[in-house]
Amino acid sequence: METTRTSPLAAEFVLRRANWRDLGAVNELEKLCFPLDAWPLIEIISVLTFPGVVRIKAMQGQAMVGFVAGERRQGEKTGWIATICVHPERRGLGIGRALLEACETRMGMERVRLTVRASNREAVALYERCGYSQVGEWPRYYAGGEDGLLFEKVIAPDLG
């Protein structure tokens, strides 16, 4: 998989499958993007190696500028976005949207779900612009006691 995308503002970026060799770069990006919720290394190793997980990186030259991971839960007919992040200096250029849409496509599930901190306005804006709606709220879900908002996008209705 390799998809080259351009936006009017951004230099060209390329989406590629990520794998365990990206451990260091994903770890750096997570720390930069999630001051409160950065995953421990073991979680990053899991998403980069477990079967059933879609992992895609956005590259500009040799630099990883974005990452998304989504888990296919076949029993629930649902794909879960486990993490999505874009380098702080490369935001607002369409990279987050491209990562999210590529992950949805590769998961190939009937619906996609995710949770987000209630205060995370940038992420909520991304999800709403990409067709997600809030379907629930998980009180005190995050570290520090912040509520989680549950968002969902129905890709293909279940016709039974």
Ligand X SMILES: CC(C)(COP(=O)(O)OP(=O)(O)OC[C@H]1O[C@@H](n2cnc3c(N)ncnc32)[C@H](O)[C@@H]1OP(=O)(O)O)[C@@H](O)C(=O)NCCC(=O)NCCS
Q: Which residues bind ligand X (CB under 6 A)?
A: 33-34, 84-86, 91-97, 116, 120, 122-123, 125-126, 129
In terms of CB distance, is 10 or 23 closer to ligand X? 10
Coil, strand or helix at 58 = strand
Q: Residue written as tokens 């279940």? A: 158
In terms of CB distance, is 48 or 148 closer to ligand X? 148
- State how far the Cα of 50 lies from the Cα of 104, in Å rounded to an integer: 18
Q: Which of 95, 98, 66 is nearest to 83 (CA)?
A: 66
Smallest separation (angstroms) from ligand X to the CB of 160: 31
In terms of CB distance, is 9 or 159 closer to ligand X? 9
Smallest separation (angstroms) from ligand X to the CB of 155: 18
Smallest separation (angstroms) from ligand X to the CB of 52: 20
| β-bridge mates for residue 70, sequence order | 54, 81
